[in-house]
Structures are given as C-alpha cells and as structure tokens.
Amino acid sequence: MLRKQFGKLGWPVSVVGLGTWNIGNQWGEIDDTTAWATIRAAYEAGMTLFDTAESYGIPNGLSEFRLGRALAGIRHNVVVVSKIGNWGKRTGGEVPKTGVDSIRVSGHAILGRLRTDWVDVILCHEGDVQDPTVYLEGFEALKAEGSLRAYGISTNSLDVLKKFNVNGTCSVVQVDYSLLNRAPEAAFLPYCQEHGIGVMVRGPLAKGVLSGRYNGESTFTDTVRAGWNDDGAARSKFLEQVGQVEKLAEIVPPGPEMVAAAIRYTASHPAVSVTIPGAKSAAQAATNAAAGERLYTDAEMRKLAAVVS
C-alpha cells in the first residue's frame, strides 16, 4: 500500500483507508463478527486510516462501537477520524450546538465509543454550516485538553470550507469526489493544495455504482440507497450514472477491476491524501486496498475521465 502525506499535518497515511459507515447496518445488516473481520482485513491489507462518525449506524454510534472494539491492540498504529454534527438527527434526539461544552461532550462521547484516549481528527459534519464558531472553539478546547490532535470539516462547498478555514486552522477536509462527480477538480481541490489541507475522499465508488454491479433493474433494500428504486427521489440521477458506468465498462471490466480503477482515480489526484471506500466484508476491504498498490499517471486519469464525461 502506497502512502501519502496528510496535508500540512505531515502524517503518512495509506492512500486507501476504510470508511465505516457501511458496517453500521444502514447499508444492510451485518453482525459484529463480520464488522470486526472487515476492519482487521483492511488493516492487514495496509490501510492505516479509519473514518467514522458519531451518527453512523443503527442505532446511532454503532460504527464507532464496532471500530473501537476491532482496533484493540492496534490503535496506536492507525489514524482515526470521526465527525460531530448529526447525532440523533434521524431519531429525534439531536444534540444542540449551543456552545463549546456541547462540542466537548460530543467529543468525549466519541472517545468512549471508540475506546480510545484521543482522536486523531474530528470533522464538523454539518456540510452547510454558515457560522462555524462553535465548532472551531469546541475543537480547540478538545485539542487543549489532549483529546484531539487536529480538526476540519466534511463539506462539498468551497465557500463553507473557506469559512471554516478562516483562522488557517482547518487541517483536513472530506469531500465527495469520484469519476462520476469530478466537480471538486475545478476549484475545491486546488484550494486545498494551496492551503495544505489534507483531503479525504468519500464516495469514490459513488455508493457502489462504480462497481458495475447495478443496472436499471436493480432493487435496493438498504436505507441509504432506497431512493434509487422506482419512483425514488434519486432515481433519475441513478439511471444517469448507470449509463456512464456502461461506457466505462467498455474499457474496464465490471467487478474488482472497475472498483480498483475508480478508487485509484481519486487517490491519484495530487491534492488527495486518502480515499475511503466503505466495505461490508473482509473480501471487499481487501479488494479496495489493492487499488492502493499504485497510482495513475495524468494520461491514465484523462483517459478514464473522458470515457464517462
């Protein structure tokens, strides 16, 4: 597994990490044993960064609980990223962001669920936040007490990112980026390069579409992709993406090869430090990790992008 520098933090991180949203039952139920095996397989395959969030899972926090258990004995070897901002929103128990202590208590709860004394990075999980003051002050308080090493935001908006980086203290950003969503290449990623912000890519497989496994006849039973079914709110976008993937399949076979190509495309951008596809099994984690064995040249990236444009 290749490694890159995590922006201005300077930490070496694997170019492919593990996103743990998928092991929290929102993408379909899996058991504790499978979740543990998925995380450990990712680690054994060379992944050194694990991404989670306080709100991931049914019930809330399940992904963090499972990640914490699986990292027992290897916690000191990896970088853990979590997020604050969405606890209880799905279940009517949202935590109000009324001041520094509301952020601190959320951070302390993350420490408990992860069974760790510190979190390497915590991100603001409100991607459209207009006034980030409470997060900036809360994260600084967590740093001062030794609970947190660095912080940033998960957002697709360059304007929001600039507001969050008003003091030059945003070290990490997480953004949706894939062969099917290349919008960040225009201005978002160049800004991150200019300011030394470590970029984490979420959605490199476009929620699985870039595996080549799905078509217009596919049915989705998980809560995340239910909108892709007939009469779903996201149906038209899904069908558009399926059409793009059909073009990609003319030069990259669906399955492991297409998965590797999609993940490698995002990891190869010079602004990107790590890309974090999810997995629901040890086999999926190993397949994803294989994409990090090399990076694409500029010419290879242009060829892939041209096919799906």
As a whole number of angstroms, the distance between CA 96 and CA 210 comes to 37
Q: Which two tokens stand for residue 291?
A: 């994409």
Number of residues assigned to the chain: 309
Q: What DSSP element (H or E) covers 286?
A: helix 282-290
Question: In sequence order, what are the residues at sequence separation of 6 or more whose Cβ sits closer than 8 angstroms to the Cβ of residue 259?
Answer: 205, 210, 211, 277, 287, 288, 291
Residue 298 burial (10 A CB sphere; 0-12, 13-18, 19+): exposed
As a whole number of angstroms, the distance between CA 35 and CA 57 comes to 12
| 82 DSSP β-pair partners | 122
End-to-end CA distance of the chain: 29
Residue 259 has what pLDDT? 97
Residue 281 has what pLDDT? 97
Residue 145 has what pLDDT? 97
Residue 178 has what pLDDT? 98
Question: In sequence order, what are the residues at sequence separation of 6 or more whose Cβ sits closer than 8 angstroms to the Cβ of residue 159?
Answer: none
pLDDT > 90 in the chain, percent: 97
Q: Could you tell me which of 29, 102, 91, 94 has the C-alpha nearest to residue 63?
A: 29
Residue 20 has what pLDDT? 98
Are 200 and 21 spatial neighbours (Cβ–Cβ below 8 Å)? no
As a whole number of angstroms, the distance between CA 119 and CA 143 comes to 10
* CA distances in angstroms from 184 to 136, 178, 262, listed in the order given: 24, 9, 15
Beta-strand ranges (E) seen in 155-219 are 172-176, 198-202
Are 291 and 16 spatial neighbours (Cβ–Cβ below 8 Å)? yes
Residues of the chain with pLDDT under 50: none
Residue 105 has what pLDDT? 97
CATH number of 3-209+269-295: 3.20.20.100
Are 121 and 162 spatial neighbours (Cβ–Cβ below 8 Å)? no
Residue 64 has what pLDDT? 98
Q: What is the pLDDT of residues 188-230, one digit of tens each?
A: 999 999 999 999 999 999 999 999 999 989 999 998 999 999 9
| 178 DSSP β-pair partners | 181
As a whole number of angstroms, the distance between CA 267 and CA 178 comes to 10
Question: In sequence order, what are the residues at sequence separation of 6 or more whose Cβ sits closer than 8 angstroms to the Cβ of residue 76?
Answer: none
Q: What is the pLDDT of residues 30-76, one digit of tens each?
A: 999 999 999 999 999 999 999 999 999 999 999 999 999 999 999 99
**Token pair 């709100």 in the structure block, residue:** 55
**Token pair 């290879």 in the structure block, residue:** 300
Residue 163 has what pLDDT? 98
pTM over 0.85: yes
**Token pair 């991931």 in the structure block, residue:** 56
